[in-house]
Structure 1
């Protein structure tokens, strides 16, 4: 049995969880399914076929006491990988296999396992989430009608979830390496996942909170449930979302 809370953080009733929450925890399948979903978004890239070859250099033959590589009239080498401005020895190729494929049944079992992991308090705390209370966290459907971010945050306070949002906010860091120059300057921590029944005002009201993701049952996937391929994300379910979860699984 699981407790259902109202917007004031009070227990109003108890319900029986869907059968999917009894699925065995399979970290191996969760990891595989996550890698498959993550790599499916990667875009193949390759070097220009003429990169490093746009030059008037030619081979001057032997007998000059220097390496027999293509040279420009001024005498310096061109085209070869070891020359300044030359082509790369092993450039990236568009035919490289990036997508890690996984069987449909395995992917489905991984999602079920990740859903069950959200109800395991030990796994949730292992991910570093900070909260007061029990899991799974279920709230009445009135939550879906909240239209302001401050209203959502007030509910988080009453449920003891505000500390985890602050943890995500304070965990924002500048990324190491060249990635900081490529549109992903900051590394951000993941906080609460909110699962709602259908499109609703709470989606817009919640998504601006640090680390918080909002998703409908229909769009729920391994990327949301197990960021980084590790199950046990702190998840807030609405009562209607659980009913729809029974239909999907």
Structure 2
């Protein structure tokens, strides 16, 4: 299958054959597993202090004393004497089944499955129905995937980057990403997640010659080296079909891998 290669002005300047990776079958199950695995490995372990609720002299007297067998603090003649402690059913006692910091949180995935998931996610970027289903605005786009000349890697200003993306038919998509930024409801506002931002186009390059700094401040736009492609960027939220712009050199790299 051949697709057009476009200049930064949006004009078709050549045609190129898509690499075999774009013929990979769609595997939604593997893509979901790969994304969840990547997310789980970023979680921070947490757990209770192993000695919480156990710093006490309380012991249980056992049966036959006319009182419950709950552990009680030793002594007499002071307020804490004979007060229940240590047990999960007492005030200030230990937790019955506390979270442990040594729990393995990260979900594993087989290497071959992860590679197949990435290939499948790349193939999904060329399927119009999946791209539309993600909510991307593609009415001004001539064909998918979008292949652009290597000159995009040398763009070093945000203004030039926006003009190039608009010339490629992404004007509505950039507007969607900018207009739909909104404040999060709930406690997440105070936990470093104040705003919810849409995911827009993903730019895949083979070499950074200024483009990374140029697009980092454009709302919704992500950029990645083709060697570092992963399912989390290609299928945010486990939903494949992200609108993706490949540089011609990045496409050549995919063909050779």
Shorter-chain TM-score bucket reads 0.7 to 0.9
Query: What is the TM-score when the length of structure 1 is the normalising length?
Result: 0.88
- State the Cα distance separating 1:123 from its structure 2 match: 0.3
Q: Indicate conservation of the 8 Å contact 1:169/1:210, yes or no.
A: yes
Matched residues in 1 for 2:52 and 2:91: separation? 12
Alpha-carbon distance between aligned partners in 1 of 2:97 and 2:196, rounded to the nearest angstrom: 30
Change in 2 beyond 3 A, CA 1:172/1:78: farther
The answer to whether 1:68 aligns with 2:70 is yes
Aligned-pair CA distance for 1:14: 1.3
Contact 1:117–1:231 (8 Å) recurs in 2: yes
The SS at the match of 2:8 is coil
CA distance in 2, matches of 1:82, 1:174: 42
CA RMSD of aligned residues (A): 2.4
Query: Structure 1: 5+ residue runs without aligned partners?
Result: none
Task: Return the alpha-carbon distance in structure 1 between the equivalents of residues 52 and 185 of structure 2.
Answer: 29
Aligned residues: 247
Report the counterpart of residue 42 of structure 1 in structure 2.
Answer: 43
Matched residue SS, 1:218: helix
Give deviations 1:153-184, integer Å, cap 9, x for gaps: 11122122132223223333444444443333
Please show how residues 62-141 of structure 1 align to structure 2 within 5 Å. 68-70=70-72, 73-75=78-80, 77-131=84-138, 132-133=140-141, 134-141=143-150
| Structure 1 residue aligned with 2:205 | 196
Quick check: 33-42 or 233-242, which moved more?
33-42
In 2, Cα distance between equivalents of 1:38 and 1:60 = 45
Query: Is the radius of gyration larger for structure 1 or structure 2?
Result: 2
User: Residues 81, 189 of structure 1: CA spacing in aligned structure 2 closer, same or farther, 3 A cutoff?
Assistant: farther
One of 168, 171, 196 as aligned partner of 1:162: 171
Counterpart for residue 23 of structure 1: 24
